[in-house]
Amino acid sequence: MERSSTSTSLLACLRMPGTLKISPISKSKTTKEINYSICYTSNRTWNNPNANGFSKDVLELNDEKKITFGENCNQSGIRLTTKAYRDREAANAASESQQCFKNHTILSLYVSPECTEAQRTDQTYNNYELIAETENLSENANYWINTARQWIIYKLYPFTVKHIQGQFNAAHHSTVTIKHDFNTGTSNITFICPTETVVAVNVRIGDETVNQWARFSPLMFAYSKIFYPLNAGRNFIREASRLSSGGISEAKCVIGHDKVRTYDDVFYNHTINDCPHVLMTDCQKGSMIAVLAREGDQGKIVTVINGQDIIELNPTRDVTVNEGKTVYTKINQEASIFFDVIDEQSGAF
């Protein structure tokens, strides 16, 4: 197994000098110079999943953040500790996917859409532990925290099996534990705060809730799917960019020796032979563009057709544009070639 551990640390401090004007009932005015700082520290460690295949090793991510306030960042603060991990139970469920197993043993497919989906499940965390600790927060901050607490309890109410109020749990300390079930799509949640405990099982977002949220903020609803359940093999920046770009993305289609990875990261068993294979085209025929590939004597030959223009790239470093050949001697045999096809009239890719 290819296993690696990564960690990042971040320290930031924002100091905001300003002037505080105090206007009492009397006609005199008092002006006081103040300094106020917000300090933020973050430390994250995680281990990376296998690039290919499955692993029964536990995937784990640990994140600790601290935000402090005050002239010297010592008056009040919040500490957030998060642990996410994928346990062996979820790993076994992914690696023992029946359709993926059938593809392997009966159809002799080493890669398939079903196995791609099973691998995504294998790389998804199914256990979450969140701890929040506060110190000397203002009344306004506590008000918003209590509002959030009440909202969480309200949303969990249809699934609540235990609700204990009037407890004396640890002061200024709240925890949330979540266990996600990939088979049913539900989650078991335990929420503990200083004065109460809530246990909810088989939590599922109903269609009514989903529709209300999607109507209120379609983009935020789409973003939420990136972060829960959290996936160790997902590039969050690329996913968010794809959602925010109106359909324009940097997705790649990769052609290997005996398999193909599509733009949406699905793998297929496929071999490019000496017949032209269409890799990309506009199926709605809004633009006359296509990218083809075929196997040549010395490797794959890629052809780009844009209207009446035809560009062909040969592994011998020959580039032919409308039958006019140019040799690029600076391109080595292992270089990656990227295309940007632009409509000169609209500027669209």
User: 295-306 pLDDT, tens per residue?
Assistant: 888 788 888 888
Q: What's the confidence (pLDDT) of residue 300?
A: 83
Indicate whether 182 belongs to any domain: yes
User: 227-264 pLDDT, tens per residue?
Assistant: 788 888 776 776 777 677 665 666 677 777 777 777 77
The whole-angstrom distance between residue 240's C-alpha and the CA centroid of its chain comes to 7
Same domain for 230 and 298, yes or no, is no
**How many Å apart are CA 178 and CA 152, to the nearest integer?**
13
Same domain for 226 and 304, yes or no, is no
- Into how many domains does the chain fold? 2
Amino acid type, 268: Y
User: 91-146 pLDDT, tens per residue?
Assistant: 887 777 766 766 655 555 556 677 777 777 888 889 999 999 999 988 888 899 88
Last residue of one domain, picked from the residues 187, 222, 239: 239
Indicate whether 322 belongs to any domain: yes
Q: What's the confidence (pLDDT) of residue 77?
A: 92
Same domain for 135 and 234, yes or no, is yes
Q: At what angle do helices 236-244 and 218-227 cross, to 10 degrees?
A: 160
Q: How many CA atoms lie within 13 A of 198 on its CB side?
A: 21
Percent of the chain past pLDDT 70, that is, above it, reads 68
Cβ neighbour number for residue 62 with a 10 Å cutoff: 15
Q: Tell me: pLDDT of 336 over 70.
A: no
Cβ neighbour number for residue 236 with a 10 Å cutoff: 12
Per the structure block, which two tokens stand in for 206?
A: 């109903």
Same domain for 194 and 313, yes or no, is no
User: 297-333 pLDDT, tens per residue?
Assistant: 878 888 888 888 888 888 776 788 887 766 555 555 5
Indicate whether 122 belongs to any domain: yes
Alpha helices in the chain (DSSP H): 88-95, 98-105, 113-122, 139-156, 207-216, 218-227, 236-244
Indicate whether 148 belongs to any domain: yes
List the domain range (segments joined by +) for residue 116: 48-60+81-239
Per the structure block, which two tokens stand in for 84?
A: 């996410």
